[in-house]
Structure 1
Amino acid sequence: MTSTPEFVQNTIAMVYDFDGTLCPQPMQEYTVLPKLGIQPEEFWRWVEEDAKQTGGEKMLVYMRLLLEEANNRRVYISRDDFRKMGKDIEYFPGVQEWFSKINQYVKRQSQGSVTIQHYIISAGMKEILEGISIRKFFKQIYASEYHFNFQGLATFPKQLITDTTKTQYLFRVNKGKEALEESINEHMPEWLRPIPFENIIYIGDGMTDVPSMALTKKNGGHTIAVYPSEDAQDQATCIKLLKAKRVDFIAPANYQKDSPLFHRVQLLLNKILSSMAYQQEVFTSQLHYGIVDHD
């Protein structure tokens, strides 16, 4: 007996970069660098110099240097130590209340018929992100990770996320294959993908987000770039992204209700909800008349 087809694309995904997007500084500057007694400016200079000398990937270089400096200082950091550091991260205004407000807005506007899920895709450290105060709001966090030995200490980077590899995780969200052991290479018809790109909003802060923004926009999704202040220099990169049509909107990184960012996200959510209602009505109508159009 053939089961009745169901409309499965009734979920919205909001995907966030982390450093510079939800918090002003790189997460290491609130957490592991103070623990090691290293000044951020000095550390990031080491990373730049090492990457130039060795031709190494900067993300791998920073993860390696953190371990080397911890060893040199005889500071041994466990997974639980990293997680506990996450509570020290400071956020842009309104971030801690943002997710509940957005969830309530979608529930109210859709009369409870649409689900919204939040994701982080970051080149930062997953061990730290697992301890952040806003962790409970995220369906998944994708970030770089360390391997921990039998003593529970970090020994080498086992998972690396860079500007370009971030796009893999957008496809995971799109196809509903969120576990890393699941392959995303098999073809999946668009109508079977639980979160089409049209239902995705990506929020980032700069050039490191360009591959993700380009992929999202190319596939019909929506993007926003945020900047830390009204200073012209802070805005410059985001204005470039807006001119290049990499983003729908730019806005100050103020997540409080009634801010320009909140208003512009509401506009995008309304657009997605309207399109979703249309697609669902088309699906229902075709089903009623015995039409199956899933090529």
Structure 2
Amino acid sequence: MTQRPILAIAYDFDGTLSPGSMQEHSFIPEIKESKEAFWERVNGEAARLKADNILIYMHEMVKAARKQGVRCRKEDIERHGARVGLFPGVAEGWFDRQRERGAAAGLEVQHFIISSGLKEMIAASAIGRHFTAIFASEFKYDANDVPEWAAAAVNYTNKTQFLFRINKGALDPGDHVAVNRYTPEDERPVPFRNMIYVGDGDTDVPCMRMVKEQGGVSIAVHPPADEALAAKTAQLKADRRVHFTAEADYCEGSALDAYMEAVIGKIAAVERLRALERG
């Protein structure tokens, strides 16, 4: 049986599938701090040390929990992940609907996350089971499952490496050989033309631009009824960094859903043409 071409849809998480940052939904309230104060401290410390914001926010999470006497083990981080809120329609059939559309058109749709947020929280969220792979920041834990170091930190400058991992089928972040091995374009499991990237802002620009320039499709979303962020995503389109912008409404029949349906149809048509041309 001939294997169906793979269509990969890669998503940012914070601000794309979920409103705000995942730490704001239950972790920051549990340490009895405002989100403004937490992020101001993170950004200030990163600026003072000229350090990576991702590494600093991970350290500040552990430090703040310890200071407030709040238990912070892997299971607690997963518990916070289960409480993360999502945009309309995300948990109500979005992922299955795109898979079904792809299957009907002769494609295998796979969903991926590329996020600066915490892998543990994303995996434990209501939608964690839908992803072929989650590329995100991650803690290293001691024998008691207490975070003791950052095992991985994903920032906007290194996000693009994961697009190449998807492209080459090298999904193990610890395998640096497979992702760097030369593989002819026509032998890669997911050509960039069969890739869709969905993000929301500045930290997604390198991925958006790369996917677009390599023949795939880039989409920028913004929270429903948020005029300021709508203007920001509109600028991304004006700057030709994305193909399409829409409210982060993942319900069936929304503008985003209609565009995704059309893109899946287009990619399926191109794959059918290529198959005919190969003979």
Of 134, 140, 152, 1:141 maps to: 134
Question: Where do residues 1-295 of structure 1 align in structure 2 (5 Å cutoff)?
Answer: 10-96=5-91, 97-108=93-104, 110=105, 113-183=106-176, 184-283=179-278, 285=279
* Secondary structure of 1:142 counterpart: strand
* Secondary structure of 1:90 counterpart: coil
* Secondary structure of 2:245 counterpart: strand
Of 116-125 and 96-105, more deviation after overlay is shown by: 96-105
Q: Distance in 2 between matches of 1:160 and 1:231?
A: 29
Q: Percent identity?
A: 34
Label 1:232 to 1:143 Cα distance change in 2 as closer, same or farther (>3 A): same
Q: Give the TM-score taking structure 1 as reference length.
A: 0.90
Of 167-176 and 30-39, more deviation after overlay is shown by: 30-39
Note the C-alpha offset of 1:137. Answer: 1.0
Note the C-alpha offset of 1:32. Answer: 1.8
Note the C-alpha offset of 1:14. Answer: 0.5
Question: What residue identity is the alignment partner of 2:205?
Answer: V
Q: Give the TM-score taking structure 2 as reference length.
A: 0.95
Q: Distance in 1 between matches of 2:139 and 2:97?
A: 34
Q: Distance in 2 between matches of 1:154 and 1:91?
A: 26
Question: What residue identity is the alignment partner of 2:184?
Answer: P
Note the C-alpha offset of 1:221. Answer: 0.8
Note the C-alpha offset of 1:116. Answer: 0.5
Aligned length: 276
Of 12-21 and 54-63, more deviation after overlay is shown by: 54-63
Note the C-alpha offset of 1:75. Answer: 2.3
- Structure 2 unaligned residues grouped into runs of 5+: none
Task: Say which one has the larger Rg.
Answer: 1
Question: What residue identity is the alignment partner of 2:214?
Answer: N
Q: Distance in 2 between matches of 1:261 and 1:234?
A: 16
Which stretches of structure 1, 4 residues or more, deviate above 3 A after TM superposition? 6-9
- Structure 1 unaligned residues grouped into runs of 5+: 1-5, 286-295
Structure 2 residue aligned with 1:290? none
Q: Distance in 2 between matches of 1:138 and 1:214?
A: 23
Q: Distance in 2 between matches of 1:103 and 1:276?
A: 16
Q: Distance in 2 between matches of 1:160 and 1:8?
A: 34
RMSD over aligned Cα atoms: 1.4
Question: What residue identity is the alignment partner of 1:222?
Answer: V
Q: Distance in 2 between matches of 1:20 and 1:140?
A: 19
